[in-house]
Amino acid sequence: MLSLVKGRYRSRLAETDADLDAAQRLRWRAFRGGAQDRPEGRDSDAFDASCAHVLIEDLRSDRLVCCFRMLHLPSGAEIGRSYSAQFYELSALSAFDGPMVEMGRFCIDPACRDPDILRVAWGAMTAYVDAQGVEMLFGCSSFHGTEARDYYDAFALLRDRYIAPSRWLPRVKAPAVFDFAKRLRRKPDLKRAQAKMPPLLRTYLMMGGWVSDHAVIDRDLGTLHVFTGLEIRAVPPARARLLRMVAG
């Protein structure tokens, strides 16, 4: 259901140990930048074994250009199993009674700039959502680096327009956070805010997504991230049609 070809790219599920190894090596380049403290060149954790891994490859070279992993949960009652639950207090979401998918470790090869890669990735996710009747996508959307001041305009925009509904709002759990909803008083410069917003998060927001009111400072990966949720029924019909055109 996740195998599709659009233009020069194809998506498919990882099937072999070599597929997973390739995804972990791409993750290492994207998130850790070739850090010398990981000479094996792989980003891996205990959650990999519980997830399906999606690969986006360039048909001209078979090069892996993007990957992400998915953890399927029957309902919010199992949200404590998620990667995100390490960093956010998610008890409010335990009341969500539909199927959920956590999309994690999403990354694009730093050497690739083609926006079609992101479109194909979302097409693959849309195919999965439709086939499995998924009602919510969620995950951690990452900003590169751990200096919150680099993203003040983006965080101010999130504060003003995109904080989660109170019934689902994640609470603070991680020891190091930037509480932008309380600490920022500035009005966002919209041009700078959009320029600093990660592409994956921009896509979530365009589809009706929302975020936590604070960012976690993740020094292991060297990122700031916000919990991000998207109720599928909130996706605007026109955008849903575009996604299904890619997925079809």
> How high is the pLDDT of residue 36?
56
What are residue 141's DSSP bridge partners? Answer: 226
Q: pLDDT (tens digit, 9 = 90+) per residue, 160-176?
A: 999 999 999 999 999 99
Q: Give the residue from 115, 146, 139 showing the smallest Cα distance to 210.
A: 139
Q: pLDDT (tens digit, 9 = 90+) per residue, 182-217?
A: 999 999 999 999 999 999 999 999 999 999 999 999
Kindly indicate the confidence band of residue 234, based on its pLDDT and cuts at 50, 70 and 90. confident
- Helix (H/G/I), strand (E/B), else coil: 72: strand
Instruction: Specify the residue for token string 């890669």.
Output: 117
Kindly indicate the confidence band of residue 39, based on its pLDDT and cuts at 50, 70 and 90. low
Which amino acid is present at 182?
K
pTM for this model (two decimals): 0.92
Q: pLDDT (tens digit, 9 = 90+) per residue, 44-90?
A: 999 999 999 999 999 999 999 999 999 999 999 999 999 999 999 99
What angle is formed at CA 198 by the lines to CA 145 and CA 146, rounded to 5 degrees?
A: 15
What's the mean pLDDT when you consider all of the chain?
A: 92
Query: What would the two tokens of residue 116 be?
Result: 């079609």
* Domains of the chain with bracketed CATH: 4-247 (3.40.630.30)
Distance CA 130, CA 232 (A): 10
